[in-house]
Structure 1
Amino acid sequence: MALHSWLTRPQRRLGPLGLIALLVITSLVTPLSLDMYTPAVPHMTEHFDTSEAMVNLTLVGYFLFFAVGLLAFGPASDRYGRKPVLVTGILTYALASALCAVSSSIGMLIAMRVLQALGAGAVSAVSTAVVKDAVVPERREALLSIVQVMFVVGPVLAPVAGALILQVADWRMTFWVLAAIGLGCAALALLFEETLPVGERYEGTVLGSVKQLGVVARNKGFSTFLAIVGSFNLPFMAYIAVGSYVYIAFFGLTELEYSLYFAFAALLTAAGPFVWLVASHFVSARRFTSIVLGVALASGAAMLAVGQAGPTLFCLVFLVFALCEAAIRPYSTNILLSQQEGDTGAASSLINFAHTAIGCLGMLVAVLPWPNYVVGVGVIIAASMAAALAGWVALLRSSIPLVGVKDACAAKNARFGDDGALEGR
């Protein structure tokens, strides 16, 4: 099947490959902005002659206002179209990144990080909505698999890239690199052709478009399934938060060895989305979700049992969980978007906001006073996956509709099945 036939909204200037490149780069914006910068943080307290708490606001402020951007600009794109919000967001991001690089005080850096986060939030919210707008339903999962590999790999590889930059330059270069990425993305965004026709846009006020978030959130199938699949982000971001402490402080590895373990995990985790693409020929999304939740729960138990034995075992056990997280993300996003006929921007905002908020919670829970961080990661995986599995079973047994999983059309097209599990696609 030719790539051009994937698109319901032709991209005469970008073409399908250009659209994929745009979506991949936009998916990298947030993990790079958060994690490529972290290796430089210890140097900045001395540079600005300030406290660690003030420097930490450059991270916390980004995370908070990124979430604000997600909630504000997704609905705005339902009202004004995808392209204006996308172009404005990415240009704001690029400008703010450059201003971060030339910041003369910690206060200015914090303020520019907030502006950078708002731009990134707009970009992230719109890019997910574009997938539903522009791609035929049967090809969305394939495209989401390609794009969302970056969501998984980005947070792991970004600190390594940041550390390499610091080998040849100071922390300011990190932001110049981010500004260059933003400008490259802006060039593609200017070639992007609108995917939401005027006739399909929300016709109310700006405030009314934001209120559509509540309309989407009240969709029980959407909200319940989002809570279940979003649970994967809690242990994943917990690992990102304390991974360096585990490898360096607990297992005694060098910084280079720690980076190699992270890179190894990232490369293998990238295969996760494609596990689903292969499995989808043999099992339904319903059964696959049950299997993945069970395997993820088992990985938490294994972490508690053998995770402290050595860095290799710790890495391999977590890799099992990470593969599950990577495998479930693309098709679950497609299912979530399918719950709404309209309000795609609002739905996209809530999906990304939920992953961000749950990930933030994971980073906070990770640094609780555990016996050690390996135990902490194991408990977080086991507890969150047990809750997600219980929620999944309850959802399947409930009367709550879930399009693409429990709907009558999917049941009609099933070729095989037992205990209500669909085996058709």
Structure 2
Amino acid sequence: MPRRAFALGNRWLIFYLAFLSAFAPLSTDMYLPALPHMAASLHTTDALSSLSISCFLLLFALSMLFWGPYSDKAGRKRVLLLGSALYVVSSVAIALSSSIESLLVWRGIQAVGSGGISAMSLAIVKDVLRGPVMARVITWIQTITILAPMLAPVIGGLLLTFTSWRGIFICLTACGLLAGGGALLLRETLLVRTEGGLARMMGRIGYVLRQRGFRNLLLIFSAVCMPFMAFLAVSSYIYQGIFGLSPQTYSLFFAINAGMSLLGPLCYGRWFADWPLRRFFSVFLGIIVLSGLGLLCMGHWHPVIFALWCAPISFCSSATRPPSTVLMLNQLSTDTGTMTALINSGGLLFGSASMFLCGLSLWPDSVTAMGGMACLAGLATLLGWRWVDGRGLYRKQA
């Protein structure tokens, strides 16, 4: 790592990068307990209120497809400053919104700013680290990052005891200010910049996607995100609507599930890092499928039963993140910003699709939607991994 890559020291840089990568869960999970209250305050429906999550994630993912190539040309620091400015302004505007239409517009702008912030975390890691050290740092960052969805809804539930949903967005404004302040302390980590205009810059996305190894892995491991993102979309309505829990009790159930996500990378680094990748991914993706079947059969019985079947999904999904991320990053030695943007946006695009699918009327209820998504996505990724690995359709060094 370069000397003084961060003004406060390189150890603090790791915490800062983890904070950057947590912007998506911070921007969604913190106000999940407030969704019903927000809908009532703005005199709108639950469906329109939920659009503030699904549309945010969609635009967040799409914006990174611009920010990643742009950072390869303009540098990581400039993208962080621009993204932070958009995030702060939009967060204040959301807190002042008087209609759902206004809120959705500003949430779109907030998503674009957040995409610029989050897209830089992995890019900076690959700029300054290589080999086993990079793998360990990615595992640690992703472990810390998973604390965000565990703590955010709990904080949101506590905030609702003395403020409204608007106060939650004021807190998010402070997060944007911290991101921008950290960018001022960062030394530019990009050493070699891409040249050319906008068309050539965006054309690097096509170049990266034409690399067979990266493309295959991107499709498979982006789909792994679908069951957990489905949980984000329906959990509030399942716990509060079907099971009749309070926002505060729901936030605790959500935190328990997120705690299983936290254990995933920790357990991978402690016990599973030496497993052959073929066995590791096959076992963990298979557990997701089995958990989905459990939800379909028993998820309606009780909130505790529902939580017990969701926990393995969260654990296995998060455990696959460090090895799959390192594996994808090792497929190319150039276009780091573009590659990390595709990794980040791929999971969110697939996840947004799962949130949309869960809202369709083809499911009899939200529990069935959650279980069905886990079964279908888990089975598709398991078969895809076995096919790609069996034919050697990627570079196997990790």
TM-score (norm. length: structure 1): 0.86
Change (3 A) 1:144 1:179: same
Change (3 A) 1:68 1:305: closer
Seq. identity, %: 37
Instruction: Tell me, yes or no, if the aligned pair for 2:291 and 2:309 is still in contact at 8 Å.
Output: yes
Change (3 A) 1:150 1:98: farther
* Whole-angstrom distance in 1 between the partners of 2:318 and 2:178: 27
Instruction: Tell me, yes or no, if the aligned pair for 2:227 and 2:354 is still in contact at 8 Å.
Output: yes
Q: Deviations over 1:215-238 (max 9, x none)?
A: 111112111112211222111111
Which residue of the partner structure matches residue 372 of structure 2?
379
Q: Deviations over 1:32-81 (max 9, x none)?
A: 21232344344445544566666555444423321232111100000111
The residue type equivalent to 2:159 in the other structure is I
More deviation, 113-122/101-110: 101-110
Displacement of 1:181: 1.2
- Pairwise CA RMSD: 2.3
The residue type equivalent to 2:239 in the other structure is Y
Which residue of the partner structure matches residue 237 of structure 2?
245
Aligned match for 2:298, one of 298, 303, 306: 306
Gaps of 5+ in 2: none
The residue type equivalent to 1:129 in the other structure is A
- What is the SS of the residue equivalent to 1:286? helix
Aligned match for 1:40, one of 29, 34, 48: 34
Instruction: Tell me, yes or no, if the aligned pair for 1:236 and 1:362 is still in contact at 8 Å.
Output: no
Question: Which of the pair has more CA radius of gyration?
Answer: 1
Instruction: Tell me, yes or no, if the aligned pair for 2:34 and 2:247 is still in contact at 8 Å.
Output: no
* Whole-angstrom distance in 1 between the partners of 2:305 and 2:100: 40
Does 2:249 match 1:257? yes
Displacement of 1:361: 1.2
* Whole-angstrom distance in 2 between the partners of 1:382 and 1:106: 34
Change (3 A) 1:228 1:43: same
Which residue of the partner structure matches residue 284 of structure 1?
276
- What is the SS of the residue equivalent to 2:253? helix
Aligned match for 2:352, one of 354, 360, 372: 360
Does 2:224 match 1:232? yes
- What is the SS of the residue equivalent to 1:308? coil
Change (3 A) 1:248 1:335: same
Which residue of the partner structure matches residue 63 of structure 2?
69
Displacement of 1:252: 4.0
More deviation, 163-172/49-58: 49-58
Displacement of 1:292: 1.3
Aligned match for 1:220, one of 212, 234, 239: 212
Matches within 5 A, 1:22-421: 22-45=16-39, 47-48=41-42, 55=49, 58-103=52-97, 106-149=100-143, 152-197=146-191, 200-368=192-360, 369-404=362-397
Instruction: Tell me, yes or no, if the aligned pair for 1:71 and 1:350 is still in contact at 8 Å.
Output: yes
* Whole-angstrom distance in 2 between the partners of 1:134 and 1:115: 30
Change (3 A) 1:396 1:48: closer
Change (3 A) 1:280 1:46: closer
- What is the SS of the residue equivalent to 2:320? helix
More deviation, 40-49/280-289: 40-49
Does 2:8 match 1:20? no
Instruction: Tell me, yes or no, if the aligned pair for 2:58 and 2:352 is still in contact at 8 Å.
Output: no
Instruction: Tell me, yes or no, if the aligned pair for 2:158 and 2:248 is still in contact at 8 Å.
Output: no
Change (3 A) 1:398 1:258: same
* Whole-angstrom distance in 2 between the partners of 1:58 and 1:11: 36
Q: Deviations over 1:344-385 (max 9, x none)?
A: 111111111111111111112223342333332222212211
* Whole-angstrom distance in 2 between the partners of 1:210 and 1:267: 38
Gaps of 5+ in 1: 1-6, 406-425
Displacement of 1:20: 1.2
Displacement of 1:156: 4.9
Displacement of 1:163: 2.5
Which residue of the partner structure matches residue 414 of structure 1?
none
Q: Deviations over 1:140-183 (max 9, x none)?
A: 22222222235544345433322321221122211211111111
The residue type equivalent to 2:240 in the other structure is I
The residue type equivalent to 2:136 in the other structure is A
Displacement of 1:125: 1.2
Displacement of 1:399: 4.3
Instruction: Tell me, yes or no, if the aligned pair for 2:147 and 2:262 is still in contact at 8 Å.
Output: yes
Change (3 A) 1:170 1:302: closer
Change (3 A) 1:84 1:358: same
* Whole-angstrom distance in 2 between the partners of 1:68 and 1:256: 33
Displacement of 1:328: 0.5
* Whole-angstrom distance in 1 between the partners of 2:129 and 2:279: 25
Q: Deviations over 1:377-402 (max 9, x none)?
A: 22221221111111111101224232
Q: How many residues align?
A: 397
- What is the SS of the residue equivalent to 1:389? helix
Displacement of 1:244: 2.5
Displacement of 1:103: 3.6
Q: Deviations over 1:95-129 (max 9, x none)?
A: 22123223455554333222211111111111121
Q: Deviations over 1:6-41 (max 9, x none)?
A: x25652523222111211211222212123234434
